[in-house]
């Protein structure tokens, strides 16, 4: 028997789906030339080790495997705010690496990033905040 998802679980699923969809749509628009300048990141996050596509792919796969392992082991982590954004950012950038061999970046700050990178940063911040709050008993 399959259990029904609770409202918080459904909310996390919707956040994940919307975050992935927003990243994919903006990358499609970027590739079509609608969003201006493009950068093809063959390295790891924030264009570190650019030109080393195999390192970027290995890092992405390792990070996802670690996140999956942590989620399997910790119910508290599975319920953490920000987790859907971490999954969305990681999986969307991994899809780029597997399909194109690089990540499509189109937002220039100091370096080039994309929405998935923003999801990863925001998800990480929310996760750290959650961990500190739990450590303080809140």
| 50 carries an active-site annotation | no
What are 50's two structure tokens?
């650019």
105 a catalytic residue = yes
* The pair of three-digit structure tokens given for residue 93, joined into one six-digit string: 């950038």
Catalytic, out of 23, 50, 96, 117: 117
- Distance between CA atoms of 59 and 36, rounded to whole angstroms? 28
- Active-site residue, selected from the candidate residues 23, 50, 96, 105: 105
- Report the C-alpha dihedral over residues 12, 18, 64, 71, rounded to 10 degrees: 0
Query: Is residue 38 classed exposed, middle or buried when 0-12, 13-18 and 19+ CB atoms within 10 A define those classes?
Result: middle
Q: List residues bridging with 113 in a β-sheet.
A: 107
Among all residues, which ones are annotated catalytic? 105, 117
């Amino acid at each position: 028997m399959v259990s029904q998802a609770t409202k918080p679980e459904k909310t996390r699923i919707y956040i994940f789906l919307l975050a992935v969809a927003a990243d994919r749509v903006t990358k499609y628009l970027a590739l079509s030339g609608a969003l201006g300048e493009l950068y093809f990141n063959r390295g790891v996050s924030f264009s570190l080790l650019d030109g080393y596509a195999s390192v970027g792919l290995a890092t992405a796969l390792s990070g996802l495997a670690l996140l999956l392992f942590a989620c399997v082991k910790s119910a508290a982590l599975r319920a953490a705010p920000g987790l859907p954004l971490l999954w969305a950012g990681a999986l969307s950038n991994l899809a780029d690496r597997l399909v194109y061999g690089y990540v499509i970046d189109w937002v220039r700050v100091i370096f080039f990033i994309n929405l998935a990178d923003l999801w990863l940063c925001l998800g990480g911040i929310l996760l750290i905040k959650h961990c500190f709050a739990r450590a303080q008993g809140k």
